[in-house]
Amino acid sequence: MRGRYVGGDRIRRPSGILRPAIASLALLLSPAAAFCASAAAPAPDGWSGKGQAGGVTSQGNTQSTTFNAVLDLALVAGPWKHALHLDGLYGRNAGITSSERWGSRWQSDYTFRPAVYAFGILRYERDLFSGFDYQASAAAGVGYRILDTDRVKLSVQAGPGFRREQPQTLSKDAAGAVIARSLGTPMNSAILSAGIDYSQVLTATTTLSDKLLTESGGGNTLVTNALALAVKVSTHLALSVGYNLQNNSSPPPGLKKLDSNETVNLVYSF
């Protein structure tokens, strides 16, 4: 796994936020994706899921360790679908912890028409280097499946919600290690939550996916995006390369907006 995560020193390139969406939409709008796919069969009831992990350690002139892991579980029961997402990222560089993030998300969908569903979503994230000790939110709304075929799936959803954030200011020494954390006043705000979930089967063994989530409100807009290309090596195993980003439009003073990392992971589906 090769990772790049910058907590206290992020990159000011707003155009980077659009790269995953543009790449996905370019493929989505191709005639093959839109017209050559057959209708998908309904998902069978029961549990399914996948776990993925990757890590790399470097020794010599530089010493660094980076590790990431993701677990996705889903339960389908008639018109209901429940999905749990857990992720973690940890990195050290030259003996200094440079990234540490743990997140969770739960979403329940109820399909009341073939292409229309109601959803409720809960999200909690603790990030020691984003400028927010934690960000927690709850939202509910309506989603629409624009495409739902064997080859291409695209859904959008949006609804109102509530978010609580705990800002923090980081103090660092000359080597860049965090030596103190000062918590600010917690912020509560109404938000608009919106998401896009896209996947496309490119070949018999290759799948492209992109998941975008935004929460806008209270003076801060959070954007997270996960773009991945997975190649199967067996029935249950795959190799995945991904590009992930998180952007807070108004982080605390001294911290930049964008965090990003690239991953190469081993994926196990069940």
- Residues whose CB is less than 8 angstroms from the CB of residue 48 and which lie 6 or more positions away in sequence, other chains included: 73, 74, 76, 269, 270
The answer on pLDDT for 215 being more than 70 is yes
Q: What digits encode the pLDDT tens for the residues 145-199?
A: 999 999 999 999 999 999 999 988 878 777 777 777 888 889 999 999 999 999 9
- 225, 244 contact by CB (below 8 A): yes
**Residue 208: what are its φ and ψ, rounded to 5°?**
-105, 135
Average pLDDT score over the chain = 85
Burial status of residue 29 (CB atoms within 10 A of its CB: 0-12, 13-18, 19 or more): exposed
What is the predicted pLDDT for the residue at 77?
96
Determine the average pLDDT of the residues in 227-241: 96
What is the percent of the chain where pLDDT is above 70?
82
- 130, 146 contact by CB (below 8 A): no
pLDDT category at 11 given cuts 50, 70, 90 is very low
Label residue 247 left, alpha or beta by phi (over 0 means left) and psi (-120 to 50 means alpha). beta
Burial status of residue 123 (CB atoms within 10 A of its CB: 0-12, 13-18, 19 or more): buried
Determine the average pLDDT of the residues in 50-64: 79
Domain boundaries, the chain: 14-37+47-269
Q: What digits encode the pLDDT tens for the residues 87-136?
A: 999 988 877 887 889 999 999 999 999 999 999 999 999 988 888 899 99
What is the predicted pLDDT for the residue at 213?
97
Q: Taking the CB of residue 171, how many other CB atoms lie within 10 A of it?
A: 11
Q: Domain 14-37+47-269 sits in which CATH superfamily?
A: monomeric porin ompg (2.40.160.40)
What is the Cα gyration radius of the chain? Answer: 19
Looking at per-residue confidence, does 223 or 21 come out higher? 223
